[in-house]
Structure 1
Amino acid sequence: MNLQEAKEKIQKCLALSDSPNEHEAQTALLMARKLMASYKLSDADLTKTPSSLEVEKRLTSITYSRRRDAWIGALANLIAEKHCCSSCYTHEYNKQTRFVEMIGFPDDLDLCIRAFEYAVYAVHTNIIYRKPAHEMSYALGFINGLKKAYDHQDECEETALVAIIPKEVTEYVKSTVKFLKEEPNERTRAYCATSYSLGVLDGKNHLTKKICKAEEGSA
């Protein structure tokens, strides 16, 4: 397909990513990112230019604490970076619950937040039957595997895509954000090798499994 046809297909995929059907929405979102990488298109190429937009900070539906789902900080960092955004958190005074926020241009945020919330859902779904002591190991493995999948996709000759956080976003973060996203500390490191390895495998497959099913269905 030519460039214009690719843009039209991407727009359709983005429209479908609002579908109430969770699997259809995620398939459309991942397909859009694959096409954007293949044709080296950014969100700005599809809509407005970044210079005509204002940086926003949006609250996601995800919460965590240092005791509950402490891995979410690292996952938010990774996905935000890969979607040209930045992550942070906010919390009420003297409260442990932290609310994850994303910072970026509007169109980047649309994709970033959907990708982040779905990834959290995927991890929770896969660890639901695991022992609590093994949940962190699996989650950190998933994050490592997902990073490998992103890096492979970004380095592939046919789908080369370098995600760069715009300077406007970086400046906004420096001037307004108080609580930057945390990385897991030593107390939350992986300590179950089996769960960690399974997490790595699932994380590496996270970006491609929905796309492959979609392409098989359209063949």
Structure 2
Amino acid sequence: MKLSESIKIKIQKLLTLAKDATDEESQTAMLHARKLMLKHNIQESELISSHVNDKTVVNERVYRNRLIWWHRKLAHIIGRHFRCSYYRNTIDSYQAEIRFVGLAEDVQIAVMIYNFARASIHYHSRAFLLRSEIKRKWKRKHQFKNDYIEGYLAGLNQKFLEQNKSESLELIVVQDPLVIQYYNSLSLTSLNIPSAKKAGDDVAWRNGYNDGKKFESGREMIE
């Protein structure tokens, strides 16, 4: 059996596991499959058929509700490392959407990672606020929480950068020209991501950074 065929079989098994396993096992399997697909430049269409199918660019909603400042920063990080672009679509004065644009197989993975990371940030930031040294500063809890989340996002981004470097994926994690063409055709208005009020606390930021770098490696129970 050729090496490429054995790798495809391994990826297929991982994708099957990702569909049938628990959330944590699913995330681990999907990330491992992504690494192999990127490293060996294998598209999802190649796993289903020996014939090369047309690439499909999709525009999919990943989140809809009231947007917090870090929701968009997280989307930027995930999109950057999973070959997708993102944009905000305003629904009304209370709600907006975050949408990913990319090849179908890339968006599928990016949506899953975004939602898992969003849940992880909620979970860990709440746990951080329950620490005794933070409880004593309860009036500024939201500012400390923002410091923590800013650090988490930085740690998460660094996690992906190191992963790409260790797997030699820097030149592979680039968007397909069809994705770039479609995204540009949307003629979106560039909007700055609003900043949140922070306490400027280095301890909170560093705690968030360390937890962000642990993303994927730990057995996290997100409820």
Please report the TM-score for the alignment, with normalisation by the length of structure 2.
Answer: 0.79
Pairing of 1:1-219 with structure 2 (within 5 A): 2-19=3-20, 21-39=22-40, 41-43=42-44, 46=47, 52-65=54-67, 69-93=68-92, 95-129=93-127, 130=129, 131-156=141-166, 159-161=167-169, 162-178=172-188, 182-185=192-195, 187-188=196-197, 191-209=200-218
Contact 2:60 2:101 in 1 (8 A): yes
Change (3 A) 1:79 1:190: farther
Q: CA separation in 2, counterparts of 1:141 and 1:73?
A: 15
Higher normalized contact order (CA 8 Å, seq sep 6+, divided by chain length)? 1
1:76 aligned partner, one-letter code: A
Task: Compute the displacement of 1:207 (Å).
Answer: 3.4
| Partners of 1:41 and 1:82 in 2: CA distance | 17
TM-aligned CA distance change 1:182 to 1:108, over 3 Å: farther
Task: Name structure 1 gaps, 5 residues minimum.
Answer: 211-219
Q: 1:173 to 1:38 in 2, by over 3 A?
A: closer
- Deviation of residue 141 (structure 1)? 0.9
Deviations 1:137-169 (CA, angstroms, capped at 9, x unpaired): 11111111111111111112xx11131012211
- One-letter amino acid matched to 2:91: E
Instruction: State the aligned residue count.
Output: 203
State how far apart, in whole Å, the 1-side matches of 2:53 and 2:199 are: 42
1:43-100 Cα distance to aligned partner (Å, 9 max, x none): 46545899712311101135443xxx3111111011112111101111224x142211
CA contact (8 A) 2:64 2:97 kept: yes
Which has more radius of gyration? Answer: 2
Deviation of the 1:202 alpha carbon: 1.2
Provide the secondary structure at the position in 1 that maps to 2:200.
coil
Q: Is contact 2:38–2:173 with CA below 8 Å preserved after alignment?
A: no
1:123 CA displacement = 0.5
Q: Report SS of the residue matched to 2:69.
A: coil
Distance in 2 between the 1:203 and 1:184 partners?
A: 21
**Offset of 1:39 from its aligned partner?**
4.0
Q: Distance in 2 between matches of 1:7 and 1:45?
A: 8
Unpaired segments ≥5 residues, structure 2: 130-140
SS of 1:183's equivalent in the other structure is coil
Pair 1:20–1:144, CA change in 2 (3 A): same
Determine helix, strand or coil for the equivalent of 1:25: helix
What amino acid sits opposite 2:8 in the alignment? Answer: K
Contact 2:143 2:197 in 1 (8 A): no
Amino-acid identity (%): 22
1:21-42 CA-to-partner distances (Å, cap 9, x unmatched) read 2112112122223333554545
Task: For 1:144 and 1:208, locate their aligned partners in 2 and report how far apart those are by CA, in whole Å.
Answer: 16
